[in-house]
Amino acid sequence: MALVPWRPRDFWWDPLYDLDNIQRQMNNLFNLSLSRFPEREVGLLEGVWNPAMDIYDSKDNLLVKVDIPGMKKEDIDVSVHGNTLVIKGEKKQEREVKEKDYVRTERFYGTFNRAVTLPAAVDAGKVQATYKNGVLELVLPKKEEAKPKQIKVDVK
């Protein structure tokens, strides 16, 4: 059981003091748990990353661009389930350097899994995917019922 130092309190209870104290303790907890420790081989955040993604909506297609440099096309899995696009993959780390004299390590490695709800229904059978210069580009054709239709209004 932890000992808590005694502090005299005023006669009136201040709920904001307790909330502020809880906030400070939670911030300290997250700052400790999410930092990387140089003496440890594996940090808490290692193996968890999400590549950056852009989605463009045109009349007939959705265009998705995902930055995943340094990967092979065999390590990337793309699927469409209903109106959800799922991109999975694993970026493997090269472990050629045997010394622990790193000055800085910022590149992410490990598995990723992105699931994005698309703004329109797509035809999964006609999806085209290309991977060039570290950018995965997907062309997702919209289903006919998802395409915008012009409705003419008669004025009387």
Spans of all domains in the chain: 47-94+109-146
Amino acid residing at 152? K
Kindly report, residue by residue over 133-151, the tens digit of the pLDDT: 989 999 999 887 766 677 7
Lowest mean pLDDT among 40-44, 56-60, 126-130: 40-44
Whether residue 8 has pLDDT greater than 70: no
Phi-psi region of 36 (alpha: psi -120 to 50; beta: other; left: phi over 0): beta
Average the pLDDT over 16-34 and give the result.
79
pLDDT at 43: 47
pLDDT tier at 12, thresholds 50, 70, 90: low
47-48: strand order across its sheet:
47-48, 110-117, 84-91, 76-81
pLDDT at 39: 43
How far is it, in rounded angstroms, from Cα 19 to Cα 94?
46
- The average confidence (pLDDT) of the chain is 78
Which range has the top average pLDDT, 10-19, 28-37, 73-82?
A: 73-82
Average the pLDDT over 32-39 and give the result.
52
* 30 three-class SS: helix
Just give the CATH number of 47-94+109-146. Answer: 2.60.40.790
pLDDT at 55: 93
Kindly report, residue by residue over 48-92, the tens digit of the pLDDT: 678 889 999 988 899 999 998 888 888 899 999 888 899 998 887
- Top pLDDT among 98 and 16 is at 16
Whether residue 25 has pLDDT greater than 60: yes
pLDDT at 44: 47
How far is it, in rounded angstroms, from Cα 65 to Cα 113?
15
